[in-house]
Amino acid sequence: MPIRIGVAVADYFKASTIVIGYDVRPSSIDIFNALSQGLASRNCKIFNIELCGTEEIYFATNFLKTDAGIMITASHNPSDYNGMKIVGSKAKPISMDSGLGEIMSLTEKAIYLDTNEFS
């Protein structure tokens, strides 16, 4: 699924550049790698700021003037959970009211031609 989310985020924002960071959860690197595959399949340049806090994604997205940013984190949830927070250009938070529903729909329809997809 992270590959398809990468495809959907790139398509939704028509992104050429995206910042990605992640927290310390063991699953974060695998999610980052899969997410990056999806983004790269859409020729999106990735700025990997690696281990960071969510506030650094907001800062980097705005400072680097990227089309979007993604923080791989489940925030306050237990360590066996993980997820993503997505921001648009100028660090605009994306919620169900501002595009997350469309990204979810694009994720369900995303086509990524790789039989080794991380799900």
Tokens encoding 77? 């949830």
Each residue's pLDDT tens digit in the chain (119 positions)? 899 999 999 999 999 999 999 999 989 999 999 999 999 999 999 999 999 999 999 999 999 999 999 999 988 888 788 999 999 999 999 999 999 999 999 998 876 555 444 44
Write down all domains in the chain, each with its CATH number in brackets: 2-109 (3.40.120.10)
Which among 75, 79, 95, 105 is annotated as catalytic?
75
Beta bridge partners of 88: 68
Note if 16 is an active site residue: no
Tokens encoding 5? 């989310």
- Tell me the pTM: 0.89
Grouping H, G, I as helix, E, B as strand and the rest as coil, residue 67 is coil
